[in-house]
Amino acid sequence: MRPGTDWRLYGVILAVMVIAGTAVLLFPASVRHNAPLGVSRTIDSGRGIAVRGGYVMPNYDGFDRLDLDLRVYSDEPFYDFTVHVRPAGPDQPDLRTIALRVPRADVWHAKGAFANPYLAVGFPEIADSAGSRYYVWVESGPRNRDDIWTLWRIKSYSTVPVWEVARAWITTPPEPLGRWPGGLMLVVVMAAMVASLGWLALALARMPAGPLRGRSASTSGRSYLRDGALE
């Protein structure tokens, strides 16, 4: 034990970190559902064209958000759309219907190099959505019936506590990790990294300000010049 070490302070810091970690686990987060390449594409492979709908399969309950890559090609100041969410299958009724009025700048087809191409659409959550398959399709409003537009990609999200995400990583880890021991190891490593960064930040914050103490190199070294020679 180093002299002067205040272990009570470290105990308080550890307790704060545990409480903060517990609070983070209870905090709700918007989590994207699994999909190939992270998105559901709307291409009709048989015809080789993009259509105005696609399928999503949430892997969490609380399905409550879509990100739509809508692109318009007609020069109108505003566009009216209606987004439909319904269970996959024939003759299924809509579970959610969302009316949108969108400025042209938000859905114009020409996007900048670092622009976000997605339009976020929120709606009341669908509670028991995990493992179900839904069809999402978009129709234009009456004033935009003859305008040219398309839907390129869809992302879907649920809002769930962080602990549910951690549990999902443990019970169904990514393929290279195999079964639950690999997922548990990944979660432990991630938690250890966060704890280490927090501990480092606290240690740096407690360091005294000002220049480092100690002898300068000019006085502490033994070598010096005398008559042009190095001793």
**DSSP assignment letter at 173:** -
Q: Give tens-digit pLDDT for 170-181.
A: 676 666 666 656
Residue 167: what pLDDT? Answer: 73
**CATH (domain of 72):** 2.60.120.260
51 part of a folded domain:
yes
108 part of a folded domain:
yes
146 part of a folded domain:
yes
Number of domains forming the structure of the chain:
1
218 part of a folded domain:
no
105 part of a folded domain:
yes
**Mean pLDDT, the chain, integer:** 78
- Rounded to whole angstroms, how far apart are CA atoms 135 and 85? 6
94 pLDDT higher than 50:
yes
| Domain that includes residue 140, residue range | 30-160
- Rounded to whole angstroms, how far apart are CA atoms 231 and 217? 15
The contacts of residue 39 (CB under 8 Å, 6+ apart) are 69, 153, 154, 155
Residue in 53, 35, 45, 36 with CA at minimum distance from that of residue 152: 53
Half-sphere exposure of residue 18: CA atoms within 13 angstroms, side-chain side: 6
87 CB-contact burial (10 Å; exposed 0-12 / middle 13-18 / buried 19+): middle
71 part of a folded domain:
yes
Distance of CA 95 to the CA centre of its chain: 26
Question: What is the DSSP pairing of strand 225-226 with strand 43-44?
Answer: unpaired
80 part of a folded domain:
yes
Residue in 156, 163, 194, 153 with CA at minimum distance from that of residue 69: 153
Looking at residues 190-201, what average pLDDT do you find? Answer: 72
Q: Is the pTM for the entire model greater than 0.75?
A: no
171 part of a folded domain:
no
Q: Pick the residue with more confidence: 180 or 121?
A: 121
